[in-house]
Amino acid sequence: MTTSTSITAHGITGFLGRGAALRELECLLEIAAGKTSKQAARGLGCAPSTVEKAVERIFFKLRVSNRAALIAEAFRRGLISFAAASNPTPEKQRDESQDGVFIA
């Protein structure tokens, strides 16, 4: 039997087995999508305090003190990444640059 080692939400993939528990990773993906704790809790079907506690645990594990630093550090450590479907190839980025939209 195989288990999933990643979860995807909002165009972002989170990877299990890299230091975050499942609930922490779910909350991290919601936060990375720009959701508040209350919005994340609604989407995950739990209490806002559950999300806040999971976010506090991840703050401690990644040694950060705010949500922006949390997301940056999670990307840096490979805990989360953009989902393959929403990550355009360099050629596609060049094509879209004609639309007046800057893609960093």
When the pLDDT of each residue in the chain is averaged and rounded to a whole number, the result is: 84
At which residue do the structure tokens 């230091």 appear? 19
Flag whether pLDDT at 3 surpasses 90.
no
**7-43 pLDDT, tens digit each:** 999 999 999 988 899 999 999 999 999 999 999 999 9
d(Cα 39, Cα 8) in Å, to the nearest integer? 17
Q: What is the domain extent for residue 71?
A: 6-99
Any domain includes 32: yes
Q: What is the CATH number of the domain that holds 16?
A: 1.10.10.10
Any domain includes 95: yes
Any domain includes 104: no
**Residue 101 confidence (pLDDT):** 59
**Residue 84 confidence (pLDDT):** 73
Question: How many domains, the chain?
Answer: 1
Any domain includes 1: no
Whether the CB-CB separation of 16 and 22 falls below 8 Å is answered with yes
**Residue 83 confidence (pLDDT):** 82
